[in-house]
Amino acid sequence: MLTDLFLIRHAAPEWHGGPAYRTAPGPDLSVGGQREAQQLAHFLADKALEHLFVSPFARTTQTAAHIVDRLDVPVTYTRFVEEHSATESAEQVHVRIRDFLLSLTDSPFQRVGIVSHGFPIRVMLEELSSGRLDLRAYVFGGNNHAPTAGVWHAHRVEDRWRLDLVFQPDG
């Protein structure tokens, strides 16, 4: 039974030049983002992750590469947790995230990491808390509810999820 989810926002991307942010593959990680991803991998080293689900964007796959190098954990790349596209409604994002989370409840995994983006992570937090989590106290750059390379831990307690922001990289 799924007991723990680690909702991981990608590390800091390169903001100037390069591909459009919300169109795959999007920008690569910046030099600072590479450092954040290393700190993130170090933080996750003792969390006993069994599997990693990763958005196919460059900034998420590059963040995940640091985790995989450190943890040697199996990876599935999935569009279910990819960036909110300009042609996609917020409700469509909610539906795909809800479907993804439902699929995890039937999986053999107990402890899973998900490397995604700000808006999909917000949707995951809303879904897991049934809208009860007050995210106003958690606002970071770009109006995201997780900092770059930040981690929310969702731990199942009976039939509810306890949600805590457990990691932020050093500036």
CB 73 within 8 A of CB 53: no
The DSSP H or E segment spanning 46 is none
The pLDDT assigned to 21 comes to 81
pLDDT tens across 149-168, in order? Answer: 999 999 999 989 999 999 99
Taking 90 as the threshold, does the pLDDT of residue 77 lie above it? Answer: yes
Specify the pTM. 0.96
- Lookup: tokens for 116: 């995604």
Domain encompassing residue 145: 4-167
Give the strand order in the sheet containing 111-116.
75-77, 51-54, 111-116, 4-9, 151-157, 160-167
CA distances from residue 21 to 15, 26, 67, 78, 91 in whole angstroms, order as listed: 8, 5, 22, 18, 21
CATH code of the domain in which 71 resides: 3.40.50.1240
Domain count along the chain: 1
CB 56 within 8 A of CB 117: no
pLDDT tens across 9-56, in order? Answer: 999 999 876 668 888 899 999 999 999 999 999 999 999 999 999 999
The pLDDT assigned to 18 comes to 64
Percent of the chain with pLDDT over 70: 98
Interhelix angle 31-44/58-71, nearest 10 degrees = 40
